[in-house]
């Protein structure tokens, strides 16, 4: 329920609860949720993540209604993020949202869930359900918390998600072009243009559209697109190189 800031008061409390670096951490030794939380957070800050998990788990089990319970639940999610166990992190964050819907950690929890889904998503050539879920959660975050100080992080995550989804479409487009299925390639290019116009992969999409047009007799349109790529300084060097090679073939 309370956000743990780096204040002098909290620092003094933590100093009083400090455990020797090599001492065995025993959650049961703490009789109050406050002491157990701060001791567990010390373990977390020291990188003793397994000990921190034991402490936070003990707290939410023994003191589920305490004001520190939602703090412990949030930090459980962070612990698993540290371990790169994103499925477990998602589960812990989901528990917080379901059990403590009025927690002050709700905003950060939604964004961390989105991040966890993105981090566990596979390479673009595989199923991107996790990336789509991450994108949806990040968008929900912006809708629910439009003035959040974490807005920039959410927007950055959204761009990463859209970029990855665009890369998946480009893989399919490349396959369709190689198979001579140009209409199918255009369908996917239209999706990129409409849904992901602000990602860097839009330049690859422009190149592929020019390539498709050059293959289907729309030479003038292909040349126009290639010229735009070559004249725009924002276009990536490798895309401009491919466009330069293709425009010679188109004109030839």
What whole-number distance in Å separates Cα of residue 60 and Cα of residue 76? 10
- State the average pLDDT for the chain: 92
What whole-number distance in Å separates Cα of residue 167 and Cα of residue 123? 9
Nearest-10 crossing angle of helices 86-99, 69-82: 160
81: which 2 tokens?
């993020």
Q: Does pLDDT of 132 surpass 80?
A: yes
pLDDT of residue 252: 76
- Residue 18 or 240, more confident: 240
Distance of CA 73 to the CA centre of its chain: 20
User: Is there a contact between 207 and 243 (Cβ–Cβ < 8 Å)?
Assistant: yes
CATH architecture assignment, domain 1-102? Alpha Horseshoe (1.25)
Q: What is the DSSP letter of 121?
A: -
pLDDT of residue 14: 41
pLDDT of residue 200: 97
What whole-number distance in Å separates Cα of residue 221 and Cα of residue 163? 26
What are the sequence ranges of the domains in the chain? 1-102
Instruction: Give the confidence band of 19 by pLDDT, cuts at 50, 70, 90.
Output: low
Strand, coil or helix: 209: helix
Strand, coil or helix: 218: coil
pLDDT per residue as tens digits for the range 160-174: 999 999 999 999 999
What whole-number distance in Å separates Cα of residue 78 and Cα of residue 122? 21
pLDDT per residue as tens digits for the range 217-229: 999 999 999 999 9
Q: What is the DSSP letter of 197?
A: T
The share of the chain scoring above pLDDT 70, in percent, equals 91
What whole-number distance in Å separates Cα of residue 18 and Cα of residue 249? 71
User: Is there a contact between 225 and 209 (Cβ–Cβ < 8 Å)?
Assistant: yes
């Amino acid at each position: 329920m309370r956000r743990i800031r780096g204040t002098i008061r909290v620092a003094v409390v933590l100093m009083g609860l400090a455990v020797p670096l090599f001492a065995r951490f025993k959650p049961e030794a703490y009789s109050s949720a406050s002491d157990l939380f701060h001791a567990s957070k010390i373990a977390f800050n020291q990188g003793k993540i397994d000990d921190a998990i034991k402490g936070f788990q003990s707290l939410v089990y023994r003191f589920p209604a305490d004001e520190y319970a939602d703090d412990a639940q949030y930090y459980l999610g962070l612990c698993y993020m540290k371990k790169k166990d994103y499925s477990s992190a998602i589960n812990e964050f989901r528990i917080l949202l379901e059990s403590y819907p009025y927690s002050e950690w709700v905003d950060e929890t939604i964004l961390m869930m989105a991040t966890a889904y993105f981090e566990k998503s596979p390479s673009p050539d595989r199923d991107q359900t996790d990336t789509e879920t991450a994108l949806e959660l990040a968008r929900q975050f912006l809708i629910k918390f439009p003035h959040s100080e974490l807005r920039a992080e959410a927007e950055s995550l959204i761009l990463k998600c859209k970029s990855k989804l665009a890369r998946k479409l480009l893989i399919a487009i490349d396959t369709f072009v190689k198979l001579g299925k140009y209409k199918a390639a255009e369908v996917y290019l239209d999706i990129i243009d409409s849904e992901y116009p602000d990602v860097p992969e839009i330049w690859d999409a422009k190149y592929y559209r020019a390539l498709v047009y050059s293959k289907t007799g729309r030479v003038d349109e292909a040349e126009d697109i290639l010229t735009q790529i070559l004249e725009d300084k924002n276009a990536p060097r490798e895309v401009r190189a491919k466009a330069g090679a293709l425009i010679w073939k188109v004109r030839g």
